[in-house]
Structure 1
Amino acid sequence: MEQKTPGKKQPKNATSREDRLKAALKANMARRKAQARARATVEDTQDSKDKGQD
């Protein structure tokens, strides 16, 4: 009698899941980078305004 191991899945499902996770991670990283750039721009603008008002 053959026993199937519960840890193994079909390669097609694993590949599609990995592809979805990879795409989600890429989108998340792009969003975070855009937010960081926007915050840096706002901080630079505020710093230059603060220095000019002395």
Structure 2
Amino acid sequence: MSSKPTSKGPQTREDRLKAALKANLGRRKVQARAKASKEAGEKAPSEKE
């Protein structure tokens, strides 16, 4: 017998959680960049105007 169960249930759940965390982190980074660029844009006048 193996010392660790090879059930796909917990591993699959763990993989889903890892993927969800990675996606969430990516979204948060995009939001942070957008917020930073918006704040920078408000402080300095844009070149288009």
Does the pair score TM above 0.5? yes
Q: Report % sequence identity.
A: 54
TM-score (norm 2): 0.76
User: Which structure's CA Rg is the greater one?
Assistant: 1
RMSD: 1.5
Between Structure 1 and Structure 2, which shows a larger proportion of helix residues? Answer: 1
**CA–CA distance in structure 2, aligned partners of residues 45 and 11 of structure 1:** 52
Q: Structure 2 unaligned runs (5+)?
A: none
TM-score (norm 1): 0.69
Structure 1 outlier segments of 4+, above 3 Å: none
